[in-house]
Structure 1
Amino acid sequence: MFTYKIDDEISLKLVDRNDAEDIFQLTVKSRDYLKEWLPWPTYIREVSDTKKFIENSMQNYVDNKSLVTAIIFKGKVAGIASFNSFDWSSRIGQIGYFLGEEFQGHGIMTKVVRALMDIGFKEFRLNKIEIRAATENVKSRKIPERLGFTEEGTLRQVQWLYDHFVDHVVYGMLKDEWVDLN
């Protein structure tokens, strides 16, 4: 099983069936907060919905299509961080993440994304890592900006969010631009 220790308080672990209840409860507690920028919280109504997500994530990991990890902070599931997809022919990975509302403000996500960059460039030998965020999602955009990603452009009306379309900013980091901080 995939695990990655970031520091004494934060680690990543491949999601598995045992995480279903914790991830579901985190989603329920943070539903309104997450819905501001993500469409899927509306569809997670029962633990079985989270179990389906986990099953798909585990199969995609086996098929080398993605890597979905639970963020563990002080022993609790605090969020999800993942390589949502890989383009192996071009060696590009796309990172996505969310953090429960109660875990905001501890610098967790910056450390987590830096760890995913380490994994992506060192272990997966990616040439490029991308992060996309809604143009108005300032908190999410601060992560790649803080880590030195380049703002590459804006995808117009790329996501339907309940009753309107939102634009996404695309950030990219190339392997030869990456500074290994470990």
Structure 2
Amino acid sequence: MEAAILRVDEFTELHPPGVELAGPLFRLIDAQRHYLRHWLEWVDGASGYDDMRKMILDAIRYRAGGQRCTFIIVFQGEVAGSVGFVRIDRSHRKAELGYWLSRNLQGRGIVTRCCRRLIDYAFNELMLNRIIIRAPKQNFPSQGVPRRLGFCHEGTLRQDNQLRGSFYDIELYSLLRKDLALQ
């Protein structure tokens, strides 16, 4: 998969992962570790620069293999979070979209705009047919993203995920290529 910067708007760009972003990304995660680990299990594995560098190298490898497509959100020139396709199934032309954003930037529509740009990328460049978003039942801001983007709520996956020993429900949303024509 080609690794190009995707422009979202005048303030926001989506950068493909690169080792030069390991430091800024680690500092952001480390500063917000307590908040992020409430929703993201992988945060505990990012305990230092070397861990972040390895995660970025893995993201580059997965992108090259067509299994994932991660972007780093850069807002006003600063690393602000990540968005991307965490699972891509080429044979069925579908993917799962995931995201996280610095807590102090939430509520400004940044993730929604980034996801809208990636939806366009998925349907028009990756030629996918279906995108899903899996949002924890208690993470209301995360559920707002697919709702604003016109995704269909398919239902609740009861105790579908586990985080630090506790099971929790997942709300499943989907968007089909044909849905965009109806919007």
Per-residue deviation, residues 87-121 of structure 1 (Å, max 9, x unmatched): 11110011000001122122100100101100001
CA distance in 2, matches of 1:39, 1:68: 17
On the 8 A contact 1:118/1:180 being kept in 2, the answer is no
Residue 17 (structure 1) aligns with? 19
* One-letter amino acid of the structure 2 residue matched with residue 108 of structure 1: I
| Range moving further from structure 2, 171-180 or 44-53 | 171-180
| Range moving further from structure 2, 40-49 or 18-27 | 40-49
Residue 160 (structure 2) aligns with? 158
On the 8 A contact 1:87/1:93 being kept in 2, the answer is yes
Residue 136 (structure 1) aligns with? 138
TM-score (normalizing by structure 1): 0.95
CA distance in 2, matches of 1:43, 1:62: 23
Q: Does 1:65 align with 2:67?
A: yes
CA distance in 2, matches of 1:142, 1:169: 11
How many Å apart are 1:163 and its aligned residue? 3.2
* One-letter amino acid of the structure 1 residue matched with residue 52 of structure 2: T
CA RMSD of aligned residues (A): 1.4
Aligned length: 181
CA distance in 1, matches of 2:56, 2:44: 17
| Range moving further from structure 2, 123-132 or 159-168 | 159-168
TM-score (normalizing by structure 2): 0.95
CA distance in 2, matches of 1:25, 1:3: 22
CA distance in 2, matches of 1:174, 1:42: 34
Aligned match for 1:75, one of 50, 74, 77 = 77
Unaligned 5+ residue runs, structure 1? Answer: none
CA distance in 2, matches of 1:133, 1:114: 17
On the 8 A contact 1:10/1:72 being kept in 2, the answer is yes
* One-letter amino acid of the structure 1 residue matched with residue 180 of structure 2: W
Per-residue deviation, residues 5-52 of structure 1 (Å, max 9, x unmatched): 011100101011000001101101111111221112122111111111
CA distance in 2, matches of 1:100, 1:179: 32
On the 8 A contact 1:71/1:79 being kept in 2, the answer is yes
Structure 1 segments of 4+ aligned residues over 2 angstroms from their partners: none
Among the aligned pairs, what percent are the same residue? 34
CA distance in 2, matches of 1:162, 1:24: 21
Using a 3 Å threshold, how does the CA distance of structure 1 residues 70 and 147 change in structure 2: closer, same or farther? Answer: same
